[in-house]
Amino acid sequence: MVPEAGACRARAQCLAQLLRVRHLVATTIAKQDEDRTQRFLFAAARGDAATVRSVRARTWWPAQGCGRPGMVGRAGTAGR
pLDDT digits over 10-39, tens only? 899 999 999 999 999 999 999 988 888 898
Range of the domain at 10: 3-77
* Mean confidence (pLDDT) of the chain: 78
Provide the whole-model pTM. 0.56
pLDDT of residue 63: 52
Q: In sequence order, what are the residues at sequence separation of 6 or more whose Cβ sits closer than 8 angstroms to the Cβ of residue 39?
A: 51, 55
| Mean pLDDT across 40-59 | 88
pLDDT of residue 44: 92
**CB-CB contact of 34 with 68 (8 Å):** no
| Mean pLDDT across 52-80 | 59
Q: How many domains does the chain have?
A: 1
